[in-house]
Chains A and B, each alone.
Chain A
């Protein structure tokens, strides 16, 4: 019973991931993109949950879905793209097929390499992926990357503010 539930859940989430990706890839209007993005990220979060990564699931939902998608939406609204501002893409289908042909070997290789890693998930304790165990690990082994990441986030914030400012000196020069 649980297995059937899990399998169908996985199928649903996988479908969500691919649907979101295809929406981004094929759609033309920014609103559709944002929608696809939202679906894809949320589905990935669901997959995390299925993988017993509860903390990662929360982080994904909070940061990616709640943060990045919202910021993207805000950006789309701020820019207020009109139809005319969108780039014309006359040969989009041709490009898509060509690129797909080019990428196929890479994807195949990637998949083949990945599938050599293991055949079945081992059983894990209930605390796996939980806040407690992850937090312990984070503050034992990952303190330095964690701190660096905080600096990176700060820098990115400052950078984004500076870049996003309306009036910039090089604008006047050019």
Chain B
């Protein structure tokens, strides 16, 4: 079945971005323009969301394996080989489409309030819409080439938005870092695609054709392809070892962090693995490797998050940790659970970021949680919604995170990967600890700074557009879980069922599942209790912790991994570059060029001497040739005659 709606959905945000970019560049700034930007900047995502709902509604009436194709035009056609610019909505991309457009719309609305006073209001929305279009291109692409274009465009949008406050050099550095680390990942990704392309035997390079032809490629090569593709996911989804850009990416405006670096773009890696499910199903060893990387990243990020003080960095590490969960899921082959966690995570993590953004705005761009404190009574709406999101990410029952996370963990347990399961549980504990540490310190614990000078922190009042999206997302964070209610709780895993992915099957007896879930909840409660003990009823006055013990200091500094990368990679590279700059560039390359120039000039000068206009010279040179020919003839023919 085909329809033009998916193409329209992809093109709309690009169109909005183009219009706003044009207006921003060529129309002199004025107050009235803001209304225009709001209309276009919110209108296009809302319209895209509406169209997305229509398309998905249409699709649910079709059989599960059906998809809605939307060919736009033929891009490359070489003989029988064709790459189309075509979009496809199947069950998997439908989920992504809804997440991206719905959460994206909410964050756009939120951003109106957040960015209202910014000089670059129009630019911001142009970028933001551009990102949305790129992300939709990524998820709706019907072939890996188009997916890769989207993949790169979201990277570009991310780069532009991280460096949005470009007066500060640190932000530019952060943007560059994100961009460069993503290039490392993209190199793997594009190598994988190239390899896949080279080994393909049949014509056509859309997903369906690729999966049909996978049998013709031997497993070793498939594993290599899978690994290379996953390197791309490592970069995009901020996993070990390419994760260091994500915390720095928080330099961008908070809506950017919410949309790009929490809800959508960073999940592209997970989506990609799920999209290539038929490929990864053939190479379970690589899947295990992915799960291992996911687990390690989850643990490391959770540890880092527990010792951070910057509210956005805590959330960034938390994002990385949750992405680790998703990769555990898709790595072990339970794709629908991974995607479900992705969707749930998009809601509650966007909510967390937006709540954090609200707090930051209210406190005039203060990000250190230990300088906040006691905000609960003054920002009740933010506090309540943040509590919902915190509970959701912690995995307390009835909230979305409980179902999505526990499904992943119990599957890991059921399929026999107990080590990964154990790591997952530890991470769950740490998650509970650091999230409630954040929550307690920001909202519940008394503000020691304001207790010293009571009237100092005058709060900025929050615009309505920043508050009510929080409630929508909070509702989502609460109720989303019921879409995928496990059978143990009387549900039918409707979501996973409808998603129709090539999942592996592993079942637990209900009793065991109850025990596991109960254990998880207990662990989470333990984390909450410790956080409560440390931060709400502190034994000594609550202050920004000064870490005296070496390992604590190391964790607070994220194990000096940035420094390590700097020493191991950046400095040697810079050394090599400098060396090239000093030696190879001027001496060898420039030198050889200069030598050539000198040579040419010399030859030219000498030959110009011949062109002296003197007739006798011309006759002489002419006769030299004639005489040479004569000599040759004399020797060659004269002897014979």
Q: Which residues of A contact B (CB under 8 A)?
A: 99, 102-106, 108-109, 112, 116
Contact = CB atoms under 8 A, between A and B. Distances in A.
Contacts of A103: 623, 627
Contact of B641 (A102, A105, A108, A112): A112
Interface stretch (B81-89, B291-299, B629-637): B629-637
Contacts of A108: 630, 634
B624 A102 contact: yes
A32 B226 CA distance: 99
B634 A112 contact: yes
B626 A106 contact: yes
Nearest to B623: A102
Contacts of B634: 105, 108-109, 112
Interface string B598-641: 00000000000000000000001001101100110110001001
A109 B623 contact: no
B638 A109 contact: yes
24 contacts: A99-B620, A99-B623, A102-B620, A102-B623, A102-B624, A102-B627, A103-B623, A103-B627, A104-B627, A105-B630, A105-B631, A105-B634, A106-B623, A106-B626, A106-B627, A106-B630, A108-B630, A108-B634, A109-B633, A109-B634, A109-B638, A112-B634, A112-B641, A116-B641
Contacts of A112: 634, 638, 641
B630 A109 contact: yes
B56 to A, nearest CB: 86
Contacts of A102: 620, 623-624, 627
Main secondary structure of the interface of B (DSSP, over half): helix
Nearest to B628: A105
Size category of the B interface is: 10 to 19
Given A99-B623, A102-B623, A112-B634, 5 more contacts: A99-B620, A106-B626, A106-B630, A109-B638, A116-B641
Contacts of B623: 99, 102-103, 106
A108 to B, nearest CB: 6
A99 B626 CA distance: 13
Contacts of B627: 102-106
Nearest to B619: A99
A86 to B, nearest CB: 16
A85 to B, nearest CB: 18
A83 to B, nearest CB: 22
A90 to B, nearest CB: 14
B626 to A, nearest CB: 6
Most buried by B among A103, A105, A108, A112: A105
Contacts of B633: 109
A106 to B, nearest CB: 5
Nearest to A115: B641
Interface string B54-74: 000000000000000000000
A112 B636 CA distance: 13
Contacts of B641: 112, 116
A47 B627 CA distance: 29
A43 B634 CA distance: 31
A98 B187 CA distance: 69
Top 9 A-B residue pairs of the complex, sorted by shortest distance between their CB atoms: A105-B630, A109-B630, A105-B631, A106-B630, A102-B627, A105-B627, A106-B627, A109-B634, A109-B633
A151 B434 CA distance: 112
Nearest to B626: A106
A68 to B, nearest CB: 22
A109 B638 CA distance: 8
A102 B626 CA distance: 9
A105 B631 CA distance: 5
B328 to A, nearest CB: 90
Most buried by B among A99, A104, A109: A109
Contacts of B631: 105
B639 to A, nearest CB: 11
B24 to A, nearest CB: 62
B623 to A, nearest CB: 6
Contacts of A109: 630, 633-634, 638
Contacts of A99: 620, 623
Contacts of B630: 105-106, 108-109
A104 B634 CA distance: 11
Nearest to A98: B620
A109 B634 CA distance: 6
Contacts of A116: 641
B617 to A, nearest CB: 11
